[in-house]
Structure 1
Amino acid sequence: MQDSPLLASINKIKSFDLNLLLTFEAIYLYNSVSDAANLLGKTPSAVSQSLTKLRSVFSDPLFVREGKGFVATTVAENLHLHLSEGFSQLLNSLDYFYDASTKSKFTIHSTAYAAARLMPDICAQIEKDALHCTISHISSDAIMDNDEDILIYRKADIIFDTKPFYSFSTITEPFITEHVVAVCRQDHPRLKNTLTLEEMKFENSTFLTVGSEGVKRVQNDINGYFGDREFSFSSSSIIANTAIAEKTNCVSFIPKWFATKFTKSFNIKILECEFQTEPVTLFLTYNKSSLKNNNFIEILKIINQCKELY
């Protein structure tokens, strides 16, 4: 019994305050001592003292100030990588010790476009089935966290993203595919119903500034066909780019569903292209431990029912 690896590990770290690691993760996630203090219910001074101890333990500054926030060092990045895996396993284990079946509020993380595309049908089905729950949406356009941190630290229950996230504690599956089309204003002086390689040489474009790998791939495909385009407007918003196309001579490449639904609202037209891009796949990701929650299972059933509509 005395030779147990667990006992050996406990004996090795018994003098180390494990709360320091929680403080480290809070600072890492928020890049701020004051925000970490608010999360942990401590004073900024107490968090700063903990950071000083951590720096001494790891013989590294861990975070260096940049502007109003902190930037993690290489040591801090590696430490977070190992801690996040451990925290994920710990949180999943703790799930077994409380009854989560009564949870009735679920947070969905996605872009604003994906929310407009998917959430109306999902919420309508929830209402139809009289499922007593609340859905909260967090826009991935407004936050910088990656999917791994969002799932590990339970900032969201479900993620819709163009990037799959595979791990032992999560389930990721393709949900829908989105096709992209070119649009311009109805009374464009040169473009009628088509957009050819030659016609594109004389037109400016809008550019969607998002970090999604799926969107970047489509943008590369478009540039590979049409060559280097001239961009007169860029935005992270599909709505903004479409509105610009309505009032200017710019060409915008937007999701086909959005273009079809809002052609009349924005006074735009869909252009036929000889070139077709590969569709963008939107993935559904959630924690495996959520399947112990009866209400979550019902939400998942509804989401999969709605999938048949797309």
Structure 2
Amino acid sequence: MNDASIDLNLFKVFLNVYQHRSITVAADVMGLTQPGVSGVLKRLQQQLGVQLFIRSGRGIAPTHQAHELARQIEPALNQIHNAIEGIERFSTDNSRRFVVYTSEPMMLMLLPKIEADQTLGNVEIELHPTLSSEEKLIHSLNQQKADLAIDFANYSAPSFFSEFFCTDEICIIARKDHPRVKGSLTLEQFYDEKHVTLKLRREDAYLADYFTEESIGERKVAAECDSLVSQMTMIANTNCLAAMVRSIANQFADRLDLQVLDAPFTSIPVKYRLLTHNRMRHSPANLWLREKLKSYFVSE
């Protein structure tokens, strides 16, 4: 086989099929027809002299040769893609819409900053709720449904790049006119009072439990919710307590007449990270987006 005779576009199609484990999905992502993608795979298999995929249920599964091929060519293709992208210059004069996956607290913090930014030009930054599992998030970024994700999980997926974004911490909130809690909170008071809890869907754990070093004992739970906003509203209208990220508690404390109290236990910092596919790491547009988002927190 003559190496020079193989079109690099064949490898791009192969890698998309390999990543999505689907000819149909890969065709949709690349804007090609299903027969066209099937034809490319057949041509590549003939040139390489190996079988790359086999039938598995209703879909396809990569062979050992496909795993090895993907492992070796993906870094090279990413380097080529990044080199081409690096030649171009990103400008806010051109229309561009970025999609960012993020959690509710980060969405509440970011949206006012984006709305107030007068330097975006013709660029739009659209925030979407992060997905319910790491697998779904990685798969969606692989399909280029979003440009970036902001999350407190530190992913180790080899095809993805992540970097530190910002830090938050856990606090406790109570209404200002609480009959027993005034300005500070002891551990005994924490267990004596009723709580409105917030469960993190992906980690299947409560917010306070996930970001504390100690093992928190059983609380008196009055209500459980899945939204910070509804949680704060319930606290403002009852004598319950709730664990909250401090940035959001400070943002809404005056409007909802809330006390923001130090947690009576050792909390672990909530460290947010930016996550994107390696192919986008050196893209001028993606670099601009990451630097723009980080600039909103420089003075804080």
Shorter-chain TM-score bucket reads 0.5 to 0.7
Matched residue, 1:261: 251
Structure with the higher helix share, 1 or 2:
1
CA distance in 2, matches of 1:183, 1:81: 50
Equivalence map 1:220-239=2 (5 Å): 220-222=210-212, 224-239=214-229
Letter in 2 for 1:115: M
Letter in 2 for 1:24: V
Q: 2:269 aligns with which of 259, 276, 279?
A: 279
1:251-294 deviation digits (Å, cap 9, x = unpaired): 22111121122124334332344324132122345643224x5x
What's the offset of the Cα at 1:238?
1.8
Distance 1:172 1:124, change over 3 A: same
1:208 aligns with 2:195: no
Unaligned runs of 5+ in 2: 43-49
Q: 1:306 aligns with which of 282, 296, 299?
A: 296
What's the offset of the Cα at 1:241?
2.4
Matched residue, 1:3: none
Unaligned runs of 5+ in 1: 1-6
Distance 1:103 1:175, change over 3 A: same
What's the offset of the Cα at 1:21?
2.7
1:113 aligns with 2:140: no
Q: 2:282 aligns with which of 278, 282, 289?
A: 289
SS at match of 1:228: coil
Identity of aligned pairs, percent? Answer: 19
Equivalence map 1:134-149=2 (5 Å): 134-142=123-131, 145-146=136-137
CA distance in 2, matches of 1:300, 1:201: 41
What's the offset of the Cα at 1:181?
0.7
Distance 1:119 1:39, change over 3 A: same
What's the offset of the Cα at 1:134?
1.4
- 8 Å Cα contact 1:185-1:249 kept in structure 2: yes
CA distance in 1, matches of 2:265, 2:53: 56
- 8 Å Cα contact 1:169-1:288 kept in structure 2: no
Letter in 1 for 2:165: F
Distance 1:86 1:139, change over 3 A: farther
Distance 1:90 1:196, change over 3 A: same
CA distance in 2, matches of 1:71, 1:205: 46
Matched residue, 1:124: 116
CA distance in 1, matches of 2:255, 2:130: 23
- 8 Å Cα contact 2:170-2:263 kept in structure 1: no
Letter in 2 for 1:209: L
CA distance in 2, matches of 1:97, 1:153: 24
Matched residue, 1:4: none
Equivalence map 1:23-42=2 (5 Å): 24-25=17-18, 27-28=20-21, 38-41=28-31
Distance 1:207 1:306, change over 3 A: closer
SS at match of 2:109: helix
CA distance in 1, matches of 2:209, 2:242: 11
Equivalence map 1:20-99=2 (5 Å): 21=14, 24-25=17-18, 27-28=20-21, 38-41=28-31, 46=35, 57=51, 60-62=54-56, 64=57, 82=71, 85=75, 88-95=78-85
TM-score by length of 2: 0.66
1:163 aligns with 2:153: yes
SS at match of 2:126: strand
Computed over aligned residues only, the root mean square deviation of the Cα atoms, in angstroms, reads 4.9
